[in-house]
Amino acid sequence: MRNFNLAFMLLITTYTTSLFGSHEALRVKNNTSAASNHSNSSVVIVSCSGKSGSTTLEASFKATGIETHRCHAIRNEMMAFILAKEQTGNVILIDSIRDIISRKIASFFQNLTVHLNLQASEILAQYKAHPKQLMRTLQSTFKQKIFTMETSNTFKSWQQFNYNCLTDGVFDFKKKYQLKQIGNLYFVNLRFDDIKHWGKIIRSIDLPINLSSFKIVEANRSSNKWYANIYHDFLANFTLTQQEFDTILSSFSEELAHFYTAEEIDAFFAKWAPHIR
């Protein structure tokens, strides 16, 4: 366990206002104080890249009554919070990997009104009146944004804790997760592809928290959004050039090799091959 000055531990209550907002900062402060009196306290940090199931994981763990926080990047304030928690209990960090093409498309639609500079009602009206024209606009705009969207994975920030999941462990393709313990820190890697089985998978992980009643609470799914039908049509019709596909894949090659079997990698290429023209 790292040596951690108690005075610095108390300072994190100042930082949490910028991280969580005033209401959440108060809750974190109270939880941190309570942790000093409960050596067995545990906290879950959903440290997950955008559009990879982070909201679902957060909602699911919160439903069990476990203190849970979510972030897309571990910055200074969250780092201090985790180090403080580590002194009084266990910290479980959870990440989910998602195939880069699906993740970029999901991110694009999550922020569709910003990308098109239109309100949702205007986009829906265009889809109803001129669906093909809207698809051309989406295709063009997506290509303009594709290289700058979702370019990193949050688990890379775990290297601050001396853990790199790509080199310090292996993904268990039978159990569908990767687990590493370093002191009071527990690092868990999941795959978004397995989201339908996350309940069973997570209940099977050897963690220092009671997960016997854990179940998945779906949240923030694209299929439930206002743009669901547009999203469906875009998925069926969008295209990439071979160069665009290769450039995107080059930034995902390590993750693809680490988190997917040879057969699954073949399926990945087969899935996207019809869109490469």
Task: Report how far residue 104's alpha carbon sits from residue 277's, in angstroms, rounded to the nearest whole number.
Answer: 18
Q: Judge whether 118 and 64 are in contact, CB under 8 Å.
A: no
Q: How confident is the model at residue 29 (pLDDT cuts 50, 70, 90)?
A: very low
Q: Which of 83, 102, 109, 63 is nearest to 15 (CA)?
A: 83
The CA distance from 106 to 195, in Å, is 15
Residue 46 has φ and ψ, to the nearest 5°, of: -80, 95
Residues in Cβ contact with 152 at an 8 Å cutoff, skipping those fewer than 6 apart: 49
Q: What is the pTM of this model?
A: 0.82
Nearest in space to 179 (alpha carbons), one of 81, 261, 95, 111: 95
pLDDT in tens, 205-225: 999 999 999 999 988 777 789
Strand ordering across the sheet containing 178-182: 67-71, 41-47, 89-97, 185-191, 178-182
Average pLDDT over every residue of 25-35? 39
Q: Provide the pLDDT for residue 44.
A: 97
**Terminal CA-CA length for the chain:** 53
Structure tokens that stand for 256 in this block? 């693809």
In whole angstroms, how far apart are CA 171 and each of 65, 131, 257?
A: 28, 42, 10
Residue 18 in contact with residue 81, Cβ under 8 Å? no
Specify which residues 159 forms β-bridges with: none
Question: Residues 247-265: what's their mean pLDDT?
Answer: 95
- Strand ranges in 62-171 using DSSP code E only, listed in sequence order: 67-71, 89-97
Q: Are the beta carbons of 66 and 85 closer than 8 angstroms?
A: no
The domain locations on the chain are: 6-99+152-203, 100-150+222-275
Q: And the tokens for 169?
A: 């462990």
Residue 140 tokens read as 């063009």
SS3 14: helix
Q: Is the pLDDT of residue 110 over 60?
A: yes
Inform me whether the pLDDT recorded for 19 exceeds 60.
Answer: no
**Which residue has 């680490």 as its token pair?**
258
Write out pLDDT tens, residues 148-165: 888 778 898 999 999 999
Percentage of the chain beyond pLDDT 70 is 86
Backbone angles phi, psi at 246, to 5 degrees: -65, -40
User: Hey, what are 189's tokens?
Assistant: 């890697």
pLDDT tens digits, one per residue of 174-202:
999 999 999 999 999 999 999 999 999 99
